[in-house]
Structure 1
């Protein structure tokens, strides 16, 4: 990019940063971000060329974020279609030295453009570790939950827990407590897809680590499983909660104090006479066998 182009980009970035969300400015943004003008790609190229300069890189990210707020149906698809943007965002997050510099537009744009398919090729251990590092300083709950969902979505793509980078980092990272507390909250959300993926993560991590949750969180998790197995009318969710409960009761962590043992036995008995799937009944039988061996 030649100097004159860079100056024009910088001037436009400043103009976008300064503009307020009025109907006139929204119409202006829709005009300048028409795909034929290629402005979004030009901004992304400028970001890639300057992302080691924190101030300039953040200015471009702020402008992109504002464009996306003003014209999301036009801007977001263009950001997602740009194959180089995920690479640039991930490298920016990995290489920026001060954590405080990252809590802002880079994170918000990562959340906006994130799709497992587009980030799969750039998801490495350094990227996952950096995102975990940032959990300690994210104060906005919505942003925090969005990052945890990214972890859950990435994790769900792995077939083997031993190869799972999210599990590898979560198992040993000093801030994994923030992560483990939050995924239990996800089980209370009315989002079936998120619940299934979260339960799969829990099931997978206990295949490589026997005490991922702190004692209190572990007990809460068991309570949630019992409640949802009893209350849900969705058989696929019941089966998945049953699978996870079975995994939990077969851990050393459970065997030490056996929390909710009587409640689980009552649940097993109820399942034998309830109108539930054959799979749920089979898991309950396996669960009883596991408890009897303790």
Structure 2
């Protein structure tokens, strides 16, 4: 059972370096991504708590620069950089309805521009972008560069989009967003969204395998318990049979000794009776012998 569980979790969390999937990695914080990852799956890609500009000269920047596909959206949260353009290799960005918007800007006080130079396809549900207490919507009102960045991103959808339409972005400012942010569930990856369907399938498969192992163990234990009870009954029966035979043998020996004793007593009684009847004859015979001896002496 333990070996099966170890195998399941190794299949979930471990990817061999020499396999064709070595450039596939699970989402979460950038710090947890392996170097050279090209496709992010499972969770949104989280870029959080960076107090410096992200460029190819930084470790996190090099990790982001190699990514070509993101399947569960991107979250930029509580960063202090002013521009975000290091993901120049990104070609495909998608998010399922459970992941929310494709891009989420949350509590970034200084960000004023973002760019995905090679982005070709975006695939998600409305709204495509959300801003929670973020500086970027303010910058869009102040300068045309930020507004053009936002428009270029929306144009990747392949048809004309009005960047001012509220259908394409979600803007939350003040206590409402703070309340939603504080009540959201944050896991150890720093993600507040519901896991993707991939993880649902992985978890369901793991639970199914665990349930199968439990059922097999239960059936085996029940069979073993029945066998052990039958074995104990056989041993107890053998013990009682042996004790019964010993008691029978003891009774037979006692009965035999009693009968022998009675027989001996009967024979002794017969001998005493016979001795009492023959006593006069023995006395007369002894007298005759004595007379013969006296005659011979005369």
Q: Could you state the TM-score of these two structures normalised by the residue count of structure 1? A: 0.28
- Answer 1 or 2: which has greater helix percent: 1
Q: Point out the structure with max Rg over C-alpha.
A: 2
- Answer 1 or 2: which has greater strand percent: 2
